[in-house]
Amino acid sequence: MSTAEGRQGGRGVASPNPSEGDGSDEHPGKEVPADAVVEPTEAVEKAFGDRADLARQYHAWLAEHATVRGLIGPREVPRLWDRHILNCAALADVVPEGASVADVGSGAGLPGIPLAIARPDVKVTLIEPLLRRTKFLDEVVADLGLTNVTVLRGRAEEKVVRKEVGAVDVVTSRAVAPLGKLAGWSLPLVRTGGRMIAMKGSSAAEEIERDGKLIAKAKGKFPSIVEIGESILDTPTYVVDITKK
């Protein structure tokens, strides 16, 4: 197993747009008190319904604990709701009912945990190679009582991980790697006809054009860019949606 943090799960909370900074602990900045952050209550309740309090608990874990443990940068705290938690919950728009989901390079739990809170009908496996992050994820999952979430330490390309995960309906990811490399990690975990859904920023179209051959080699087809989150985000976000041959 490689121990390089620059691969899957190399950062805890990353910006959905790479040009806007990754939110990692490399740039600690000035800490913002969690109670100073204004919650977008209407959007939170629309995204999470009667599980909104679980989303609030997760926000507290990120703001109060993940910062101390070096999983996110303190400067991300003011934008945890819109740029991270709600941004990831928007995946609920494109994940089929009752789907099995593997979240590659989960880091601090994004996008897998917001998706699991918003969609209790889906089963989510959080795949993360770093021990300090899987410990954090285990604690969060236990504290929130997320019975539809499993934490798995490892890398998506490892045989033991592929055997454990099996063939799922959907593989998700966020700011993990360039699209071609990500397809090589993700699509082997997807059943035939299932989907790889990667949260990407402004580079999405360029990556599809550049990495088309690598996507096809990994048995991916019909890559498309889908806008999501219009109903809960001030600025909707985008995903690259690829079907497994």
Domains within the chain, CATH numbers bracketed: 18-244 (3.40.50.150)
Residue type, 94: V
Residue type, 56: R
Peptide bond into 120 cis (omega under 30): no
Q: Inter-axis angle of helices 52-60 and 41-48, to 10 degrees?
A: 120
Q: What are the residues whose beta carbons fall under 8 Å from the beta carbon of 154, sequence distance 6 or more? A: 1, 127, 129, 160, 161, 164
Which of 19-40 are b and which e, b meaning 16 or more Cβ less than 10 Å from the residue's Cβ? eeebbbbeeeeeebeeeeeeeb
**Secondary structure (3-state) at 26:** coil
Instruction: Write down the pLDDT at residue 175.
Output: 84
Instruction: Write down the pLDDT at residue 35.
Output: 54
Which residues of the chain fall short of a pLDDT of 70?
1-36
Instruction: Write down the pLDDT at residue 22.
Output: 37
Percent of the chain with pLDDT over 90: 83
Instruction: Write down the pLDDT at residue 202.
Output: 87
Instruction: Write down the pLDDT at residue 3.
Output: 33
Instruction: Write down the pLDDT at residue 206.
Output: 97
Instruction: Write down the pLDDT at residue 201.
Output: 87
Instruction: Write down the pLDDT at residue 36.
Output: 56
